[in-house]
Chain A
């Protein structure tokens, strides 16, 4: 069975703080793909990043960075120097190469206060 767990339901930080959003996944597949999406109040899910299971290299994009640890089945997302515009719901997702299904976690609501 495949599962994505985002244990943090809500996080509140003050602007300029760093924040890490946790994501833990379960799968028996040897090849799979992990994603992060951002959902602002407008409702649309915005694609942020895709990571393949065979590529454990961490990635940095501006203030965003992702830490993929296959040994602990985690794919955590860090926002450095958070801004009010980062306030949104963030979803971690897993796609199996076998079924093609995109399974989402429950989402983490991030509130960045000025």
Chain B
């Protein structure tokens, strides 16, 4: 059983839809992350939350809106997406944001924008 759970696993949405991705971690970690993985590209860090506070926004378009109500939950709200936003969205958590702490990942949400 993974310590980081993402739902849904697959999502197909139209460009005018609004949807949300959910991530939950059961590891007692304080930091949570959203990554985007597109075909033939390195993983791109999108957002970082540390103790529920956003500490990094990696120039992500405003059509992606993160929310972190507590250290165990992280959401990514999506609206008016573009086809090029189709990708695997990975959530991760770590005990701390820096140093010698490894990140643990969920299985991702495969998003297709039509």
Contacts and interface: CB of A to CB of B under 8 A. Distances in A.
Interface of A: 4, 33, 35, 37, 42-47, 50, 52, 91, 95, 97, 99-107
14 contacts: A43-B107, A43-B108, A44-B107, A44-B108, A45-B90, A45-B105, A50-B102, A91-B43, A99-B98, A100-B97, A100-B98, A101-B56, A103-B45, A104-B42
Looking at chain A's contact residues, the main secondary structure is strand
Contact of B41 (A35, A52, A91, A106): A106
Interface string B6-50: 000000000000000000000000000100000011110100100
Interface string B70-104: 00000000000000000010101000011110111
B110 interface: yes
B24 to A, nearest CB: 14
Contacts of B66: none
Interface size bucket, B side? 20 to 34
Looking at chain B's contact residues, the main secondary structure is loop
A91 B41 CA distance: 12
